[in-house]
Amino acid sequence: MTPSVPRSAQSAGARLAVVGLVVFLANAGLLVLQLVAGRLLAPFVGSSLETWTAVIGAFLTGIALGNGVGGRLTRRTASPTGLAGVLLAGAVAALWMVALPELLRATGLHRGLPLGLRVPVLAAALCLPAGFTLSLLTPAAVRLGVPDVRRAGRVAGLVFALGTLGCLAGNYATGFVLVPHFAVNAIVAVTAGLLAATAVVARLGLSPLGAVAVSPGDKLLSVGDNKPSLYALAVSARLPTPRACAIVFACSFAGMALELSAARLLAQVVGVSLDTWTGVIGVMLAGTAAGNALGGLLADARTRPGGASGRGRLAYCLVAAAIGVAAVLVLFAVLIRVAPLETVPLIPRVLLWTFALFFLPMLALGTVSPQVVKLAVTDADGAGATAGRVYAWSTAGAIAGTFATGYVLISGLGMFRTILLVALVPGFLTVLLVRIHETRALLYGLSVVLGGVATGVATVGDYLPGIARETNYYTIRVEDSTLPTGEVVKSLRLDRLLHSCVKLDDPTFLHYQHEATQLDFIRRAASTDPAGTRLLVIGGGGYTLPRCVATLLPGVAIDVVEIDPGVTRVAYERLGLDPALPIATYNQDGRQFLEDRPAGQRYAVVTLDAVNDFAVPSHLLTRECNEAVKRSLTPDGVYLVTVIDRLERGRLWKAVVQTLRESFAHVEVLSADADYDPAERHVYSLYASARPLDVSTLSATRVVPRAEVERMLGSERVILTDQYAPVDHMMSGVFRGKE
């Protein structure tokens, strides 16, 4: 006969199931909002490192504040009505993310702020409300799910794990389903509806289960208690709250630093694309979720005679995390030399790299928070407050890791040394938990970490030779290369992409054929009045075109917009760019340069060469951006857009052509390669102007016949806008096909 389950246990299990579903859905919605926030802000502040750092920082700040405040409010929010109220407030905050951009378009209030201040102010105004309101949920969820203090660890771990899995679902849904098929405002509106529906689930699903009851004897033994407690032995193993918060702060700092470094490291072998970022974020979240669940089980595991205590188990997890991070570069050095890996298709290759390098370290780091919560909780009634405080400090660590890594560590130390630094963090945290010298296994593990880090620092230059500079955007390498003609040139590589080839003794040398097409139009524009001709180049790279124009047409005024100042410095320091040439460089986002350019400043030719083999800045290809270019052109000015695609099967070039036609009367597809194959990937220049194209004055350009263009365009019509621009999705299909 099967023993019956007590009604109270059934109620607690059902309550935890509903709470888990609510946490999963709310966190999925939160990540969707975070991923589309950059697209909502791009028309007003561009899409730069500063933009994304501000967006992530604003959301994380909201999450930290929400958890801190939520921990104090658990007596009000840890109920069906309170939980539903938080979710409805989150839905309203999501709708605010639709309303604010419309308000800015209507009033132009953002134009009164300098760009440096505009980015954080708008990011905070857009993202902070949603991050704050939805994060009030976590402490309440922990409190609702904890029936007694003995289960505090596993409940906290389960809540954290389900929240992370919700983020994982939101990540994949946004990247693969929502952005490719829906406008941004529609995505946000659907997310608001999801949050409102989740509020109904919380209210109706939890109400029949009754209030949360605290069992007698549910408190740990405290000073002054005369009555023996079941948990008296746990008192000596408790972790003071300040120390608990310090541990999770440092671990979250390390986790975020590792995530950002992972993207930079993988860019060397699989490029920077939608698939790469999805792989990195997905593996980091999957590892964290698995670690949260495992950490909850470890936290509530009984201490056997002679076995490790709760603190001891946490110390072992921290040392395991340190060893895992320290091993990342060793595995990278091994895998990068495995030749068959290059033949693996892109998506499996991305997954292989990310899982092999980063899953286990993130799993080990993910075990920390649930164990810390268990060690810091004194009674079930205070579990929500403790979890909120711990999670708030954990998020604060993630904020610090984001800003420190994005602005200081990678550009100052490089991605390799940053990873080595991350390996030291969890290792040294063990001194806050146990006496290292009394545990041989921990002492040995830390010795392995220190030895690995020391070896890595000594041999870091062997991983990727020829690095000229590491920046927030690229690993920049300059190498000597030999062309098929036997000529030796300096090649500029941005991550794995061969971006430019330069002859130091010949400033007029142009390696890529599409640059010869661009030079054709600049020559024609300058043929009548060189001194009155202005050229704008968006995407400097190796500065080959600006250098050539400045040498051959010295009267032309040249403005170059290059988002990465490190690329510009390498061009001057390593690629022979003469500071005396009349080239004005602006290190900022191209869209913002167009929006903020001085009134009356017009260009005869604008070239957009900020695209590359793996990723395309979507906000530079939209109808709104084209209108900004049109306003910056002279009446008969020419806009030349570089695209890399297949004419026969590619989708990106078709969308760009159709979008250009919304703003310009004449749009043509140009090829500098007379033998181009429409079925293969080539570099094309798209001509857009108010006047028809006259090919009689062009020497290095071939026009793809209009009839052929129309045939290949077919019936599909996609107009790229700030609301709908699935550029990465269009590009990734061709990129996968290349493999």
Mean pLDDT, the chain, whole residue set: 84
d(CA 630, CA 600): 13
Q: What is the DSSP string of 688-699?
A: EESS---GGG-S
Cβ contacts of residue 38 below 8 Å, gap of 6+?
47, 51, 52, 55
Residue spans of beta strands (DSSP E) within 144-184: none
Question: Is the model's pLDDT at 678 over the cut of 90?
Answer: no
SS3 219: strand
Tell me the per-residue pLDDT of 615-669, one tens digit each, with 9 for 90 and over.
Answer: 778 899 999 999 999 999 999 999 999 998 888 888 999 999 999 999 999 999 9
Strands 475-482 and 488-494: antiparallel
Determine contact, residues 539/610, Cβ cutoff 8 Å: yes
Place of tokens 């860019």: 267
Write the DSSP string, 428-465: HHGGGTS-GGG-HHHHHHHHHHHHHHHHHHHHGGGTST
**Which pLDDT tens digit goes with each residue over 510-542?**
988 889 889 999 998 998 877 789 999 999 989
Reading the block at residue 608, the tokens are 């957009």
C-alpha 95/C-alpha 713 separation (Å) is 36
Q: What percent of the chain has pLDDT over 90?
A: 37
Residue 221: per-residue pLDDT: 37
φ and ψ of 462, to 5 deg: -80, -15
Question: Which has more pLDDT, 696 or 503?
Answer: 503
Structure token digits, residue 613: 């083999």
pLDDT computed for residue 434 by the predictor: 74
Instruction: Give the DSSP letter string of 133-185.
Output: HHHTHHHHHHHHH-SSGGGHHHHHHHHHHHHHHHHHHHHHHIIIIIHHHS-HH
Summary count for the chain: helices (H), strands (E)? 29, 12
Q: What would the two tokens of residue 321 be?
A: 């995390």
Our CA angle for 5, 8, 9, nearest 5°, is 50
pTM, 2 dp? 0.84
Angle in degrees, CA 206, 208, 213, rounded to 5: 75
Query: Would you list the DSSP string of 25-49?
Result: HHHHHHHHHHHHHHHHHHHHH-SSH
Range 460-470 average pLDDT: 71
CA angle 250, 254, 255 (to 5 degrees): 115
Q: Per-residue confidence at 590, pLDDT binned at 50, 70, 90? A: very high
Buried/exposed 658-668: b ≥16 CB within 10 Å, e otherwise: bbbeebbeebb
Element (H, E) at 538: strand 534-538
- Rounded to 5 degrees, φ, ψ at 221 are -65, 130
- 732 or 590, which is more confident: 590
Per-residue pLDDT at 438 exceeds 80: no
Strand pairing class (603-608; 557-561): unpaired
Q: What is the pLDDT of residue 127?
A: 95
228 pLDDT higher than 80: no
Q: How confident is the model at residue 6 (pLDDT cuts 50, 70, 90)?
A: very low
Q: What average pLDDT does the segment 706-723 reach?
A: 91
d(CA 725, CA 618): 6
Per-residue pLDDT, averaged over 224-243, amounts to: 54
> Residue 671 above 80 pLDDT?
yes
Q: pLDDT digit string (tens) for 292-338?
A: 889 888 887 776 655 557 788 888 899 999 999 988 888 887 777 76
E strand residue ranges, 609-697: 633-645, 666-671, 682-689
Count of Cβ atoms closer than 10 Å to residue 733 Cβ: 14
211 versus 45: which is more confidently predicted?
Answer: 45
Task: Give me 259's structure tokens.
Answer: 């995530």
- Token pair of 683 as six digits: 């570099």
Kindly indicate the confidence band of residue 53, based on its pLDDT and cuts at 50, 70 and 90: confident
Is residue 278 pLDDT above 60, yes or no?
yes
Helix (H, G, I), strand (E, B) or coil at 726: coil
- Name the one residue in this structure whose structure tokens are 């000529």: 487
DSSP 547-610: HHHHHH-TTSEEEEE-S-HHHHHHHHHHS---TTSSEEEE-S-HHHHHHHSPTT--EEEEEE--
pLDDT of residue 118: 92
| Residue 573, amino acid | E
Which DSSP state fits 498? E
Go through the domains of the chain in sequence order and give each one's CATH number. 7-212 (1.20.1250.20), 244-464 (1.20.1250), 512-738 (3.40.50.150)
Mean pLDDT, range 705-732, rounded to an integer: 88
Using alpha carbons, list the distances in angstroms from residue 303 to 27, 318, 420, 733: 33, 18, 33, 53
Residue 67, token pair as written in the block: 């958890």
pLDDT at 236: 44
Structure tokens at 324: 């895992």
Give 532's contacts (C-beta < 8 A, 6+ positions apart). none
Predicted confidence band of residue 58 (pLDDT cuts 50, 70, 90) = very high
DSSP state of 667: E
Give the type of residue at 545.
L
Instruction: Rounding to the nearest 10 degrees, give the CA dihedral for residues 690, 605, 628, 122.
Output: 170
What's the token pair of residue 659?
A: 């979008």
Give the orientation angle of helix 415-429 with respect to helix 310-326, to 10 degrees.
170
Reported as a single tens digit per residue, the pLDDT across 95-122 is 999 999 999 999 988 888 888 899 999 9
pLDDT > 60? residue 288: yes
Structure tokens at 221: 């033994």
Say what the pLDDT of residue 222 is: 39
Which three-class secondary structure state does DSSP give residue 675?
coil
**Which is higher by pLDDT, 277 or 305?**
277
pLDDT value at 564 more than 70: yes
Q: pLDDT by residue (tens digit) across 183-218?
A: 999 999 999 999 999 999 888 887 765 555 444 444
CA 80 to centroid of chain Cα atoms: 34
Q: Fill in the amino acid letter for 421.
A: L
Phi and psi angles of residue 704, each rounded to the nearest 5 degrees, phi first: -70, 125
Contact at 8 Å (CB) between 528 and 554?
A: no
pLDDT digits (tens, 9 = 90+) for 124-163: 999 999 999 999 988 888 777 766 556 666 777 788 888 8
CA separation, residue 306 to residues 303, 313, 319, 445 (Å): 8, 13, 20, 20
Spatial CB neighbours of 364, under 8 Å, sequence gap ≥ 6: 291, 317, 318, 320, 321, 324, 426
- Taking only the tens place, the pLDDT of each residue in 440-456 is 788 788 888 888 787 77
